[in-house]
Amino acid sequence: MVIDPGLLTNEAREMASIDRLIDANLDRAREGLRVLEDWGRFVLERPDLVVRSKDLRQRLGRLHQPRYKLARHTATDPATGLGHPAQLERRTGAEVVAANAGRVQEALRVLEEFGRRGDPVLAQEAAAIRYVLYDLEVDLLRAQPGNQDRRQRLAQCHLYLITSPSPRLEDLVRSALEAGVRLVQYRAKDSDAAPDQPLNDRQRLAQAGALRALCTAHGALFIVNDRIDLALAVEADGVHLGQDDLPPAVARRLLGPGRLLGRSTHAIEQLRQAVRDGCDYVGVGPVNATPSKPGRDPVGLEYVAQAAAECPIPFFAIGGIDAVSLGPVRQAGASRVAVVRAITAAADPAAASAALLRLLEAES
């Protein structure tokens, strides 16, 4: 029903105009975010950046109330069809991305200011999204088209070896690599070491450097657990973070856009947050009780099934998985697994690696 503006009070007329203003800026922000999303999807081929852009767009979409859309009246909008010569001066994709990020940020500021009066939830969300967008814009501009080697290689990995302290660490990893493992994480926590054989940082650096060289020689990705400084020092392909480690946004600023960022998750909301944070992959578990995670209750196969149903990035089921227990994990929907003892404690690490790879490849 169209209300005759002449029947409205001045305050009601102003509120109706503000509804139109909010509708226009919601449209503007959502359209700009779609430009960023498609740049990440079709040019950068970065699922993590696509997910982050889409999440912001959908968050705004949920707040685009019918009352705002019903206030729309394009025929009486004096700015309809207006352009600016600057729009014709955008020669590169990066300029288009920067212009649309700025467009979204400006629209969000308008929504924040005018939403306070009649829609405080919208105002608060617009402010939160604006600050998230600042980081997303930088990541989009830093990312290079075609520079997806690490992420493309990650997508092809189905078996993830996580190390534990061992006097024959290099031999173990070499055996796994020769058997076909192409993703290795160096994990050397104090809690994992023997009480009489603690590692200092110089030793960790030497071990990480040696494993990095082995992985490079075999064309494998090399990840460092927790330690961003060690990862950068040995030029690792990325870092894996636990729930109590640095926030992913901080880690990403230190690592840059090209390296991989993984995150341990133990519940579906943690997985969703890792996706929103721009992680490249997640661990899902522990599926079974394992000495690698003492005191951590197993999550079972239900969480694996949840991850399989909705995770848009690679996920690795982890926790007490070996060739015997792999079947149910695969049936729950996992096509990738991470293991420690299944390889490091095996009498023949190469044979154990090859057996797991055969099972995963047969099921994939």
Catalytic, out of 187, 204, 212, 263: 187
For tokens 């990440």, name the residue.
Answer: 40
Taking alpha carbons only, the member of 34, 50, 44, 123 closest to residue 276 is 50
Does 164 qualify as catalytic in the annotation? no
Tokens of 54: 């889409």
Which residue type occupies 315? F
Q: Are 168 and 347 in contact (CB under 8 A)?
A: no
Taking the mean position of all CA atoms in its chain, how far away is CA 329?
23
Catalytic, out of 293, 330, 336, 353: 293
* Euclidean distance between CA atoms 265 and 269, whole angstroms: 9
Does 187 qualify as catalytic in the annotation? yes
Does 264 qualify as catalytic in the annotation? yes
- DSSP 8-state class, residue 72: -
For the beta carbon of residue 23, count every other beta carbon within 10 angstroms. 19
Strand pairing partners for 239?
Answer: 224, 261
Catalytic, out of 264, 330, 336, 353: 264
For the beta carbon of residue 191, count every other beta carbon within 10 angstroms. 6
Tokens of 268: 């579906």
Give the residue numbers annotated as catalytic, written as ranges.
187, 264, 293
